[in-house]
Structure formats: structure tokens, C-alpha cells
């Protein structure tokens, strides 16, 4: 037998031996993503991830789709997808890490809440619960660090980057000194939208969004763009200020009586947009409504409230089940005040049915915030009018958001003044900087977001339920490359659910991507590569189909 023939027989023998040690071939893995035109950064990041996973022997497809369709798949069909690109949006009330530490990964939120990946670790649950009760800052920080360590090991998310929020505005329309740069958020924020002062005759703030809204609903945390609108239409007892600290808003004051008792004095004279007065009963109802099973995303924020009682004609007393270090930020700055006369009949109507408040859309949304809804088409345009009766009425007459899915079209609208506040930009930031160099009236600002971008694996579906498999997939992701290639340098590599923008809470980690280490991790866990394709460990059958 010749040398070449002997080698061929030997290779076949080795391949056969490996095949005998292997289980079924792993199915094609789908990475769901926003459509390329709507979010080119996210789509390119998905392609980069797929490229590295293929080196492990996986067949991977990136599937882009409109954001509302993607949201429906991920949130309401939790058994039917393998992985998805996703984002945790930087919101002011997330300046305290409780929301990301507790709500994202506590097992009680798996079925309908924020824990959409299905992560379940009793040890993590315990830490997440303890940090809520711990009032000593240094001890709480140690617990937050421990939570980050557990997530780093278990890899329920594959963290990618903390993006830099890039926005721009026209300085010949809005006074520079009235534009607020909020910590971890950037200039696209509530304080800018309500406080921006017109320079001249144009008094409408005209913004853009690169994707459609999903809903306009105060009981549904439906997406980044939706949140800009709900912030303006519905008041909250407190709001997180530009400095990242909570301060009274619809409340005049909030005073701790003891560790579990809080008196909140509510502003007098507030009105709903339909002209009816805001009452203490409305305030109490706003915190009762999410406590049942009809607003699962908001439920964790009120779960620690034991009872609420009226104290006189202007104060609500909150009694908590246990001390809560983040109550001002994570609850009072989070829960939207909603009119009882609007939402109580709606909730009564769907009681005892599978429907939730998240699926209800008011024909004419009613809040008490500084802007009121004039008209809205979720896929086209939202027009809000100044609510002149508000104690903090906006400086602008109207706030308009136009859905412009094409990035180049949005830039053209900025050049022509058809948009005077570029609130949503997903293209190359350098193009925007070039425009600013050519036009002195265009002002660009970028800020590291307190949110993050990530790949979410569905832990309900094998092989993503295996921590060894997840660790291997994480090991091949080059976050530095991701930040440069997909985000053009306008991002910081991410390693934790607590953003680098939250410097007091973030625990830095070094990244060392390694294909060899990933292959060894899989080999040690029993996975085998047969004819270039990754297989389960011996005896393991493929029970899923590509989503």
C-alpha cells in the first residue's frame, strides 16, 4: 500500500473513531437581528459573531427582520428561537444597577419578564435579592461585584459593546446652553427634550427614529424609541436628573420614616391630558396595576411594596416588605403615573384572560406629562403638543418624531433642516462629524451609554443550556474588533451587564479571545467535530429544529 493511500485509510479510521464518540450534529443556528438597513451596526456585529462561530464547526445563519417582528418573536415566543442580537437601552432609572442585576437574570422573571433567555441560578437569585436589601453602600457594591462574577462565568449573555450614543442638533434652532448632556445617556434625554430653548421662529423639535415604534403604552416596556415618548407623556413621582441621581418630580418630597416606610408628598394641581385632576387614588392605582399578572415587565419594580395608604390629602405612605436600596431610582423613577379612570376598566376587561396590558393600545393615550399626544402612527410619525398646564411646561411647542429607516435619508433631512435634532443615528459617526465640519450649525455629541449590546442565547434550547457550550462561543468573540469594525470605534468593549458608564458599580475584566481555548473547551465537554461539523457529546440527540 502506497504512502498516500495509507494516510487516507488512517484519516478515515480517525474520522470514524471520532464519529463513534459523537452525538448528533448540531442543527443550523439562527442569529436573529434587526434588519441591516435599520441597524447596520447590529447586523454587521451579528455577521462578525457568525463568522467566528463557524470556525467551531457550527452552521450559522444571520436573519434580519423589522424590530417589531423581532420583538414579538423574542418576548412572546420564548421557546421558538436560538439566539438574537439584543440591546439593553440606557435609561436614566438604570443609573442604579438594580434593574440589570435583578430583573435581567432573576429566575422569577423567566416566563414573561425581562429574563427572556431563561437563566436560572439559585445562587445568583440570592445575590440579586441581597443587594436590594443592603443599605450599606460598600457592602452592596461587593454584592454587585459578585453578581457580575457569576454572570461572567455562566454567560447567559454574550456581551459585545457599550455603544457611544451619537446625536446631533442644529444650533441655529436650539440654544447650545439649553442642551443637556446626561451621564450615561447623552444629549438625547428628557431634560433636553423638555428644556431645549428655541433660537428663533422654529419652535418644534423634530427628531428621527430609524425603526418603528412597537407601542405607546405606559404599562409596557416595549423598546428604546418607545421609551423616549412615554417619558414625555407620562409623569413619574421622581426622575433621575442629569447627574444620575433621583430627584422629586410629580412628588414634592419623599421622606423615609424608617427603613421600610416612605412618605411621598404629591404635587397639588396636576391634571391629566383629558382635563381631569390627578388624585392620590390615581397614584396608588399606578403602583397597584403592575403588581398583578397583566404588566409582567413592570411587576418586579413594585413587588416589594407591601401596602400604600393615603396620609391626608397630599401624601401617599409606601410600606415595603423589606428595605430597598434602589427604591427611589428603580421604582419611583420607573413607574408611570396612569389615570385610574382610563386603565381600571381596561384591566377589568382583560381579567381572567391570557391578554396583558402590554397588548392594549389606547386610541388616545392619556398621561399627565409635559407633552400630550396630538396624533401617532407607530410606523410613520408621532406628534406631541406642549401641555401648557404642566408645572414644567416645555420650551418647545411640539415634539415630533419621524420614522426614517434609511440612515442616509436621515442625514439629508438634517442637512435640509427637516430634522433639527438627530436623535437616532446608527450609521458611521465619522460621516456625521464630517457634516459638522462643513456646517457650523450642526453640533455632534457622543457619550458612552449605560446600556449595552449583546447576543442573547436561549437557554431553554440545547445546546445553549450547556454552560460549557456557551463559554466556548463567548471565547471566540473579539470585542475590540467588534467595537472598531461594527461601531467604527464609537463603542467600548463590554464584559458585564453593569455598564462601564456606571463607574461606581462596574467591575472591569480583560478580554482574551482564543479559538484554540474555545475548541479545547468543547472537546473537554465531549463535543466532537466530524467532517468539519460540530456534534453533540456521545449519545446526545438533536431535539430542536432551526427557528
Q: Is the pLDDT of residue 5 over 80?
A: no
Nearest-angstrom CA–CA distance, 36 and 52: 19
- Whether omega for the bond prior to residue 165 falls within 30 degrees of 0, making it cis, is no
Residue 327 belongs to a domain = yes
What average pLDDT does the structure give for the chain? 94
Q: pLDDT digits over 54-89, tens only?
A: 999 999 999 999 988 999 999 999 999 999 999 998
DSSP letter for 135, please. Answer: -
What is the mean pLDDT of the segment spanning 15-39? 88
Identify the domain containing residue 364 by its residue range: 235-368
Across the strands, what pairs with 446? 166
Q: Is the pLDDT of residue 2 over 80?
A: no
What is the mean pLDDT of the segment spanning 199-211? 97
What is the mean pLDDT of the segment spanning 506-532? 94
Predicted local confidence at residue 475, as pLDDT = 97
Q: Is the pLDDT of residue 541 over 50?
A: yes
Q: pLDDT digits over 286-326, tens only?
A: 999 999 999 999 999 999 999 999 999 999 999 999 999 99
Predicted local confidence at residue 12, as pLDDT = 36
Nearest-angstrom CA–CA distance, 409 and 423: 14
DSSP letter for 271, please. Answer: B
User: Could you tell me the pLDDT band of residue 127, with boundaries at 50, 70 and 90?
Assistant: very high
How many CB atoms are located within 10 Å of the residue 485 CB? Answer: 15
DSSP letter for 530, please. Answer: E
Q: How many CA atoms lie within 13 A of 523 on its CB side?
A: 10
- Asked if 344 and 285 touch (Cβ cutoff 8 Å), the reply is yes
Nearest-angstrom CA–CA distance, 158 and 513: 12
Q: Is the pLDDT of residue 213 over 80?
A: yes
Residue 356 belongs to a domain = yes
Q: Is 162 left (phi over 0), alpha (psi -120 to 50) or beta?
A: beta
Nearest-angstrom CA–CA distance, 366 and 512: 50
Predicted local confidence at residue 285, as pLDDT = 98
Residue 39 belongs to a domain = no
User: Could you tell me the pLDDT band of residue 37, with boundaries at 50, 70 and 90?
Assistant: confident
Predicted local confidence at residue 229, as pLDDT = 98
Residue 376 belongs to a domain = no
Nearest alpha-carbon partner for 256 in 312, 314, 327: 327
Predicted local confidence at residue 148, as pLDDT = 98
Predicted local confidence at residue 276, as pLDDT = 98
Q: What is the DSSP string of 479-529?
A: HHHHHHHTTTT-EEE--SSS-TT-TTT---------HHHHHHHHHHTT-EE
What is the mean pLDDT of the segment spanning 208-235? 95
Residue 52: which residues within 8 A CB-CB, separation 6 or more?
A: 476, 477, 478, 513, 515
Residue 5 vs residue 415, higher pLDDT: 415
Q: What are the backbone dihedrals phi and psi of residue 104, each rounded to the nearest 5 degrees, phi first? A: -70, -35
Please report, for the chain, how many H helices and E strands are present, in that order: 16, 21
Nearest-angstrom CA–CA distance, 456 and 312: 48
Domain containing residue 316: CATH number:
3.90.76.10
Q: Is the pLDDT of residue 224 over 80?
A: yes
User: How many structural domains is the chain composed of?
Assistant: 1
What is the mean pLDDT of the segment spanning 16-28? 85
Q: Is the pLDDT of residue 16 over 80?
A: no
Residues 260-299, buried b or exposed e (16+ Cβ, 10 A)?
bebbbbbbeebebbeeeebbbebbbbbbbbbeeebbbbbb
What is the mean pLDDT of the segment spanning 194-223? 96
Residue 73: which residues within 8 A CB-CB, separation 6 or more?
A: 32, 65, 80, 81, 84
**CB-based contacts of 72-76 (< 8 A; 24+ apart in sequence):** 73/32, 74/32, 74/116, 74/456, 75/116
Predicted local confidence at residue 244, as pLDDT = 87
Residue 451 belongs to a domain = no
Residue 460 belongs to a domain = no
User: Could you tell me the pLDDT band of residue 38, with boundaries at 50, 70 and 90?
Assistant: confident
Q: Which has the minimum average pLDDT: 242-251, 273-282, 334-343? A: 242-251
Predicted local confidence at residue 15, as pLDDT = 59
Angle between helices 280-288 and 340-350 (to 10 degrees): 30
Residue 267 belongs to a domain = yes
pTM: 0.82
**First vs last C-alpha separation in the chain:** 48
Q: Which has the minimum average pLDDT: 254-263, 403-412, 519-528? A: 403-412
Residue 319 belongs to a domain = yes
Percent of the chain at pLDDT > 70 equals 97
Amino acid at each position: 500500500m502506497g504512502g498516500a493511500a495509507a494516510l487516507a485509510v488512517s484519516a478515515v479510521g480517525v474520522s470514524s473513531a471520532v464519529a463513534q464518540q459523537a452525538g448528533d450534529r448540531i442543527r443550523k443556528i439562527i442569529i436573529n437581528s434587526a434588519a441591516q438597513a435599520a441597524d447596520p451596526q447590529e447586523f454587521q456585529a451579528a455577521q462578525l459573531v457568525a463568522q467566528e462561530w463557524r470556525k467551531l464547526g457550527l452552521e450559522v445563519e444571520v436573519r434580519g427582520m423589522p424590530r417589531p417582528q423581532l420583538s414579538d418573536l423574542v418576548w412572546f415566543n420564548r421557546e421558538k428561537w436560538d439566539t438574537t442580537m439584543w440591546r439593553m437601552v440606557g435609561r436614566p432609572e438604570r443609573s442604579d444597577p438594580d434593574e440589570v442585576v435583578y430583573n435581567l437574570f432573576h429566575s422569577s422573571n423567566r416566563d414573561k419578564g425581562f429574563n427572556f433567555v431563561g437563566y436560572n441560578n439559585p445562587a445568583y437569585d440570592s445575590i440579586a435579592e441581597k443587594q436590594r436589601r443592603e443599605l450599606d453602600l460598600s457592602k452592596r457594591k461587593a454584592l454587585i461585584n459578585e453578581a457580575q462574577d457569576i454572570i461572567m462565568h455562566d454567560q447567559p449573555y454574550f456581551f459585545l459593546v457599550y455603544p457611544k450614543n451619537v446625536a446631533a442638533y442644529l444650533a441655529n434652532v436650539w440654544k447650545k446652553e439649553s442642551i443637556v448632556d446626561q451621564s450615561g445617556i447623552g444629549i438625547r434625554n428628557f431634560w433636553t427634550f423638555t428644556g431645549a430653548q428655541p433660537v428663533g421662529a422654529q419652535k418644534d423639535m423634530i427628531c428621527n427614529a430609524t425603526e418603528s415604534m412597537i407601542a405607546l403604552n405606559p404599562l409596557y416596556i416595549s423598546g428604546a424609541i418607545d421609551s423616549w415618548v412615554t417619558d414625555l407623556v407620562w409623569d413619574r413621582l421622581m426622575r433621575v436628573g442629569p447627574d444620575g441621581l433621583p430627584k422629586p418630580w410629580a412628588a414634592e418630597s419623599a421622606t423615609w420614616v424608617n427603613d421600610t416606610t416612605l412618605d411621598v408628598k404629591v404635587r397639588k394641581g396636576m391634571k391629566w391630558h383629558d382635563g381631569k385632576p390627578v388624585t392620590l387614588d390615581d397614584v396608588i392605582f399606578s403602583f397597584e396595576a403592575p403588581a398583578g399578572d397583566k404588566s409582567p415587565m413592570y411587576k418586579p419594580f413594585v413587588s416589594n411594596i407591601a401596602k400604600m395608604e393615603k396620609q391626608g390629602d397630599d401624601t401617599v405612605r409606601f410600606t415595603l416588605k423589606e428595605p430597598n436600596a434602589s427604591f427611589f431610582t428603580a421604582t419611583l423613577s420607573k413607574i408611570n403615573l396612569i389615570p385610574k379612570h382610563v386603565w381600571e376598566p381596561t384591566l377589568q376587561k382583560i381579567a381572567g384572560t391570557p391578554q396583558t396590558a402590554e397588548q392594549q393600545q389606547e386610541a388616545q393615550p392619556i398621561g399627565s406629562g409635559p407633552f400630550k399626544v396630538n396624533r401617532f402612527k407607530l410606523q410613520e410619525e408621532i406628534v406631541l403638543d406642549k401641555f401648557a398646564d404642566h408645572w414644567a411646561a416645555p420650551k418647545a411647542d411640539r415634539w415630533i418624531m419621524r420614522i426614517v429607516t434609511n440612515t442616509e435619508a436621515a442625514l439629508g433631512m438634517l442637512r435640509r433642516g427637516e430634522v433639527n435634532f438627530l436623535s437616532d443615528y446608527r450609521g458611521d459617526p465619522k460621516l456625521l462629524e464630517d457634516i459638522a465640519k462643513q456646517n457650523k450649525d450642526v453640533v455632534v455629541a457622543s457619550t458612552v451609554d449605560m446600556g449595552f449590546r449583546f447576543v442573547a442565547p436561549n437557554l431553554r434550547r440545547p445546546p445553549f443550556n450547556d454552560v460549557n457550550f456557551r463559554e466556548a462561543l463567548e471565547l471566540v468573540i473579539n470585542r475590540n474588533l467588534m467595537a472598531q469594525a461594527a461601531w467604527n470605534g464609537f463603542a467600548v468593549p463590554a464584559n458585564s451587564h453593569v455598564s462601564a458608564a456606571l463607574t461606581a458599580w462596574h467591575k472591569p475584566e480583560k478580554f482574551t479571545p482564543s479559538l484554540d481555548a474555545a475548541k479545547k473547551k468543547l472537546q473537554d465537554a465531549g463535543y466532537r467535530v466530524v467532517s468539519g461539523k460540530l456534534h453533540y457529546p456521545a449519545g446526545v440527540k438533536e431535539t430542536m429544529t432551526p427557528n
